[in-house]
Amino acid sequence: MKKHIITLAGDGIGPEIMNSAQALLKAAGEKYQHEFTTEAKDIGGIAIDKYNNPLPDETIEACEAADAILLGAVGGPKWADSSIRPEQGLLKIRKHFNLFANLRPVTIFDSLEAASPLKQEIVHGSDLMIVRELTGGLYFGEPSERRDGGQSVIDSLTYTHDEIERIVRTAFDTAMTRRKHLTSVDKANVLESSRMWREIVNTVGKEYPEVTVEHELVDAAAMKLITNPSYFDVIVTENLFGDILSDEASVITGSLGVLPSASLSENGLGLFEPIHGSAPDIAGENKANPIGMMLSVGMMFKYSFGLHEESAAIERAVNTVLKQGFKTPDLKIDGAETISTTEMTEKIISNL
Ligand SMILES: NC(=O)c1ccc[n+]([C@@H]2O[C@H](COP(=O)([O-])OP(=O)(O)OC[C@H]3O[C@@H](n4cnc5c(N)ncnc54)[C@H](O)[C@@H]3O)[C@@H](O)[C@H]2O)c1
Ligand SMILES: CC(C)[C@H](C(=O)O)[C@@H](O)C(=O)O
Ligand SMILES: [Mg+2]
């Protein structure tokens, strides 16, 4: 198989973990006889520095011609107070390619049970998928502005019926491939948008009689996610709730650094990135956990290229290395040896 991939390393630890992805692509290509070509483009803070634009046209054009996109992370203190922000590039690329379906799997490898700050009996057996709506809601609602000379401010939470329906369908389809248990998370006791969301979930649910559906309010769901994570199979929720719940869910696995994601459109390009940010506190120190990025390459294999065996091989390799007793500094596992980003990358690749 021949595939062309755009790599958007971005800022902070982005370039370090993108090196891990590149090395993985090279090794997987050789082992499984595929030709993966890559082309690096800019997004985020680095693109602001070079072009005064967090998502230059050149980047968009290259992505349009590609088979898939890999992204490291964007943002950092350097650009935090500027009017043009790195994160605008990320939101713009999601919107441009209509990447409405953000799949964030939270799988606890056996070897990671001990890494979680939660008790082992609580995290044992956790395996859930957060299906996060990614191109609507508060992130994109208009108006969004300061008013009355700075004395008031407005952000808007808007969704169309179709926007809700398509993400809900994605979630039901996902549930059908798993344990057929869907939890829709909303704030229907307060928000009209959530009441419409619930109605649509109930209507679409009639087409999926095998899937058990329940609705949870987001505050209670946040609590249940860490008190009883193995209760969940598929969670579907709107953009901001999904952002918050997925970082929270990383506690189950012991580190934000191990969670991957896929951002998919209806029938086009996919973008694959770890869920964490640019981690400015550890950038440049060869300390970042590359696992979230490497598992994102695995999601690209599976969702964009249909390479299921290659994808499973990456997961197995990660599990093997953790079982062998190696970890990066973010993982708290007693007795495990702490190694660097590059060492972790090499070990995973050598276990492919
Ligand atoms: N998709 C993205 O590009 C993305 C996602 C989230 C945040 N951000 C941006 O990143 C910047 C920093 O945000 P933040 O500090 O709130 O969140 P963050 O996810 O960058 O970091 C939170 C904490 O997790 C740690 N961490 C994150 N990824 C890690 C990894 N792979 N290995 C080891 N430790 C890791 C960091 O060191 C930090 O202590 C902000 O500008 C934010 O907007 C970008
Ligand atoms: C950086 C930010 C815009 C982004 C989001 O909120 O979607 C990040 O937190 C994520 O989870 O991908
Ligand atoms: Mg986030």
pLDDT digits (tens, 9 = 90+) for 161-187: 999 999 999 999 999 999 999 999 999
Exposure on the CB side of residue 15, measured as CA atoms within 13 A? 13
Ligand at shortest distance from the CA of 139? 2
Please give the share of the chain, as a percent, with pLDDT higher than 70. Answer: 100
**Superfamily (CATH H level) for 117-253:** Isopropylmalate Dehydrogenase (3.40.718.10)
Nearest CA to ligand 1 atom 41: 75
d(CA 104, CA 18): 19
Q: Give me the architecture of the 1-100+270-352 domain, per CATH.
A: 3-Layer(aba) Sandwich (3.40)
pTM across the whole model: 0.98
- Selecting among 42, 159, 186, 187, the annotated active-site residue is 187
pLDDT (tens digit, 9 = 90+) per residue, 190-201? Answer: 999 999 999 999
**Is 139 known to be catalytic?**
yes
Count of CB atoms situated within 10 Å of the CB of 226: 16
- 328: phi then psi, degrees, rounded to nearest 5: -95, 165
| 281 carries a ligand binding annotation | yes
For this complex, say whether ipTM is above 0.90.
Answer: yes
SS3 14: helix
Nearest CA to ligand 1 atom 30: 257
**Is 67 known to be catalytic?**
no
pLDDT (tens digit, 9 = 90+) per residue, 119-154? Answer: 999 999 999 999 999 999 999 999 999 999 999 999
Residue 252 in this model has a pLDDT that exceeds 90: yes
- Residue to mutate, 8, 94, 243, ligand 2, most ligand atoms under 8 Å from C-beta: 243
For the chain, domain boundaries: 1-100+270-352, 117-253
Look at strands 270-274 and 181-186 and give their pairing. unpaired
- Residue to mutate, 55, 87, 155, 248, ligand 2, most ligand atoms under 8 Å from C-beta: 87
CA 241 to ligand 2 center in whole angstroms = 11
Mean pLDDT of the chain: 97
d(CA 171, CA 156): 24
- Which whole number is the average pLDDT over 256-275? 95
Q: Burial code of 271-308, b = ≥16 C-beta within 10 A, e = fewer? A: bbbbbbbbbbebbeeebbbbbbbbbbbbbbbbbbbebe
- Selecting among 67, 127, 173, 247, the annotated active-site residue is 247
Domains 1-100+270-352 and 117-253 share a fold: yes
Residue 331's pLDDT is what? 96
- 24: phi then psi, degrees, rounded to nearest 5: -65, -45
The DSSP bridge partners found for residue 3 are: 36
pLDDT (tens digit, 9 = 90+) per residue, 279-317? Answer: 999 999 999 999 999 999 999 999 999 999 999 999 999
- 210: phi then psi, degrees, rounded to nearest 5: -80, -15
Look at strands 212-217 and 181-186 and give their pairing. parallel
| 166 carries a ligand binding annotation | no
- Selecting among 139, 159, 208, 303, the annotated active-site residue is 139
DSSP string, 99-161: --EEEEEEE--GGGGGGSSS-HHHHTT-EEEEEEE-SSGGGTEEEEEEEGGGTEEEEE----H
